Structure 1
Amino acid sequence: MAADKPMTETPTPSLFETLGGEPGIRKLVDDFYALMDAEPFAAGIRALHPAALEGSRDKFFWFLCGWSGGPDHYIERFGHPRLRARHLPYPIATSERDQWLSCMQQALSRQPWPDAVKNQLLRSFFDTADWMRNRPD
């Protein structure tokens, strides 16, 4: 009788790994902000950001790294994200939510990830963007 061979399981990659780690997340963030900065339909959401987008890009990148299971760059720098509280000073209604989501959907379409991953991300982003609304429509 042959000895039982231990079964080795291939670990499921984290979302961070599936997205390509920091380079993959940085590309998504860069594509997102490039769209927000260039597209006329995003003028409302763009106006809520500073003229120079580097700080916003970095904060979103740092946040997404930790949120996706990678390094907690954002928390190390700023503590708990408290997303809703940090966004309360900015008027976010349905139109701003939709502008943000449209830029994100287009940015996701530029990534080399499987459609199932893109759809999962878009659902999560929708839930968060919808929760961020703080003004009546």
Structure 2
Amino acid sequence: MAASDDDTPAQLGPTPFDLVGGETRVREIVDRFYDLMDLEPSFKELRAAHGSTLDDARDKLFWFLCGWLGGPQHYIERFGHPRLRARHMPFAIGILERNQWLICMHQAMVDIGLDTPLVDRLDQSFFTTADWMRNQ
């Protein structure tokens, strides 16, 4: 990776954050994800793990995804390292919960109109992370 004049690594090509469409589109994905979770009975176990309100979860996932996709590090600025697995240990995450999360996220990306190749690429990355989060 080449360095720029200010000694920070130069980005080679657009990040997934850029390909998604920046913060506005990440927020759309997150909002659709939680709307689906709240509305669709097929996500009831996933929804049950989130408590009575989804507002805090919406913000945290938005902040996290911005950085995870290669954009601004909003989550880290607020909370430090995400420590995803440790932060999710209090919640039972098995294959059912993993799959509900992945299906819900896939549907959110499709619903907001992301290009199919990008959805496929993100689905693969999300699977790797979601599978690693399983604790059951």
Question: TM (normalized to structure 1)?
Answer: 0.88
Structure 2 unaligned spans of 5+ = 1-11
Q: Give the paired residue count.
A: 125
Q: Which residue of 2 aligns with 1:86?
A: 87
Amino acid at match of 1:48: A
Q: Which residue of 1 aligns with 2:108?
A: 107
CA apart distance, 1:12: 2.1
Q: Which residue of 2 aligns with 1:52?
A: 53
CA apart distance, 1:112: 2.6
After the TM superposition, which segments of 4 or more aligned residues of structure 1 sit over 4 Å from their partners? none
Partners of 1:113 and 1:105 lie apart in 2 by 10
Tell me the percent identity: 55
Q: Which residue of 2 aligns with 1:8?
A: none
Q: Which residue of 2 aligns with 1:64?
A: 65
Question: TM (normalized to structure 2)?
Answer: 0.88
Partners of 2:113 and 2:107 lie apart in 1 by 13
CA apart distance, 1:60: 0.2
Structure 1 unaligned spans of 5+ = 1-10
Amino acid at match of 1:126: F
Correspondences of 1:1-137 after superposition (within 5 Å): 12-135=13-136
Partners of 2:103 and 2:39 lie apart in 1 by 13
Partners of 2:124 and 2:71 lie apart in 1 by 20
